[in-house]
Amino acid sequence: MEAGAGLVAGSHNRNELVLIRGHEDHKPARALSGQVCEICGDEVGRTVAGDLFVACNECGFPVCRPCYEYERREGTQNCPQCKTRYKRLKGSPRVEGDEDEEDIDDLEHEFNIDDDKQLQQHGALQNSHITEAMLHGRMSYGRASEDGGEGNTTPMVGIPPIITGNRSMPVSGEFPMSAGHGHGDFSSSLHKRIHPYPISEPGSAKWGDEKKEVSWKERMDDWKSKQGVYGAADPDDMDADVPLNDEARQPLSRKVSIASSKVNPYRMVIILRLFVLCVFLRYRILNPVPEAIPLWLTSIVCEIWFAVSWILDQFPKWYPIDRETYLDRLSLRYEREGEPSMLSPVDLFVSTVDPLKEPPLVTANTVLSILAVDYPVDKVSCYVSDDGASMLSFESLSETAEFARKWVPFCKKFSIEPRAPEFYFSRKVDYLKDKVQPTFVQERRAMKREYEEFKVRINALVSKAQKVPDEGWIMKDGTPWPGNNTRDHPGMIQVFLGHSGGLDTEGNELPRLVYVSREKRPGFQHHKKAGAMNALIRVSAVLTNAPFMLNLDCDHYINNSKAIRESMCFLMDPQVGRKVCYVQFPQRFDGIDAHDRYANRNTVFFDINMKGLDGIQGPVYVGTGCVFRRQALYGYNPPSGPKRPKMVTCDCCPCFGRKKRKGGKDGLPEGVADGEWTATRSR
């Protein structure tokens, strides 16, 4: 037997036991399942059915049954990690506040009948061993087995479990350094205390209850003190990360109701108009026109229809809400210092068709605002869909990728907003506000000059594209451009920036930038923008397969560099994130006259109707500026193998419902398979 396992000693007068450890602490063997209680370090154990014991069904925080029962009986009754209230599990006693569960037939454990039987059965055995250990000093040495027994000695059944930790607490009655037991010297720093408890009449039920109560209470207090729940006596010893951890567990967003002083007057007007409408309809129905019954009946039907449509239009305006996000909590939860970012990747889609109607410079500004977003660069991928297969779009995107190597580091260095250069340099504001870097003015002037040169190059490409050669466009290597026939061409994919060499002028990595032109053939319906979105979803699933997707029109740039983080506060929220399908951003417009006489800003739609819909069911998808969950569109995760099964979907981008066609043909084009890069073709 090993003497280094420690020495257990005690005094009958002091009612206390002390463990003096050797130079080597023997750690208990881990369970085969790998689950260890985070509070006491013991095995989590299994249920009666043989399944792994899970105390919290929300987060699965590993806690053994004794710690779970103690926390429910004496603690806060909440999970230490997610703060969700523990539910009563089968085999555990009922505590105050538990809901009535008619489907659980567990009366013995509910009223502690089984525990009392076990105490009575083992009372005599505990009495003999504890008395022998306490009065005669017959200490046992050696490594304990998993069931609590010793090597070749009599097991001490009544001794409560020993807490192993990284620190030892000074206790009264601890043996001095000279109190060795003939098996080597021991240091005072190696002393460990077995939790003391008042010794009642051995073998009685009270003795067993007190033993378990004090044992588990001190084990729980020891764990909580390590986690910083109770704090340390010395303020200098308190863990500075404790408030941060508590803040990271808070929700990432919340609803903010509109002030009643703003909403109630409109609600009163709605009620008044509804009352007047009911009186009017009653009068019209009870007073028919005998001379023109058909005309009267037609007018009654129309008036009732208009009344119902007006009532339906008032529902979104009855309970508008705002939403507030907490970006600091998002960073604390998913971007811990010294660890890689845990934020989810995002694929951003930009769709364009005709570069002569949609200027390439506008598309370039949209792409530049995407590449400069405040988000980890390795988790951002920009896909540009060229549905016109234009060589002008391809070459302008190549120029945009080169200019992004200078523009992106400038934006992130000085935190400028917005990050679309055309709109940033044209703003009539004090651009020196809140800027403290002495080199800002000089670098801004240099960047503005670079952007003007970039505009000249883009305009030169546009001017060149006005005259199409008779033989079609020829690429630099002498081969014909595959998209000379816009209605009959193969799919094209070109990666401009990415992990393979997309670095900026400062040597930092840039987000991916991918050019996509889907395949088109005569006789096959391509479904315009919906088909282009389907193609981007398929291609991105093969290249990056990000769990979230943001689609933008080519003339919609990102005016807030933290917009993606704002959406992640909803989609990655541990409580409600899995229930969120998409996050719709409102649209804002530049270049509109100050009075907006034609209501081009859509203020009523975005600021009233959309907020009202969010208060009752959720906003509608407006076609752009929306972050989707990929799984919500697919219905399932795409396969990761090289062979991709065919999927049958409907023709619209936001609805990927399954349908069948005669002949068993797919409704959407085949994706990339067997290493051959082909764009998607819609049918």
Give the whole-angstrom CA distance, residue 643 versus residue 592: 50
Tell whether residue 257 is among the known ligand binding residues.
Answer: no
187 is annotated as contributing to ligand binding: no
Question: Is 337 labelled a binding residue?
Answer: no
Euclidean distance between CA atoms 170 and 174, whole angstroms: 8
Q: CB neighbours of 498 closer than 8 A, spacing ≥ 6? A: 381, 510, 511, 512, 513, 514
Question: What SS3 state is found at 178?
Answer: coil
DSSP code of residue 92: S
351 in a known ligand binding site: yes
Calpha distance 155→264 (Å, rounded): 74
Instruction: For residue 359, say if its preceding peptide bond is cis, omega within 30 degrees of 0.
Output: no
Q: Residue 355 to residues 193, 471, 565: CA-CA distances in angstroms?
A: 78, 20, 31
Is 358 labelled as part of a ligand binding site?
Answer: yes
**Residue 309 assigned ligand-binding role:** no
What does each C-alpha distance from 310 to 270, 306, 621, 622 come to in angstroms?
A: 10, 6, 22, 22
Here the tokens at position 683 are 């049918």
The verdict on whether residue 357 carries a ligand-binding annotation is yes
The rounded Cα 512 to chain-centroid distance in angstroms is: 22
Burial of 131 (0-12, 13-18, 19+ CB in 10 A): middle
Provide the terminal-to-terminal Cα distance of the chain, rounded to the nearest Å.
Answer: 78
The strand pair at 582-584 and 626-629 is best described as antiparallel
H/E element, 20: strand 16-20
Half-sphere exposure of 432 (CA within 13 A, CB side): 5
Q: Give the C-alpha separation, 579 to 573, whole Å.
A: 10
Give the burial class of 525: count Cβ atoms within 10 A of its Cβ; 0-12 exposed, 13-18 middle, 19 or more buried.
Answer: exposed
Helices (H), 558-597: 563-571
Query: Between β-strands 253-257 and 191-194, what pairing exists: parallel, antiparallel or unpaired?
Result: unpaired
Residue 58 is which amino acid?
Answer: E
Binding residues: 351, 357-358, 387, 528-529, 553
Binding residues for Mn(2+): 529, 553
Binding residues for UDP-alpha-D-glucose: 351, 357-358, 387, 528
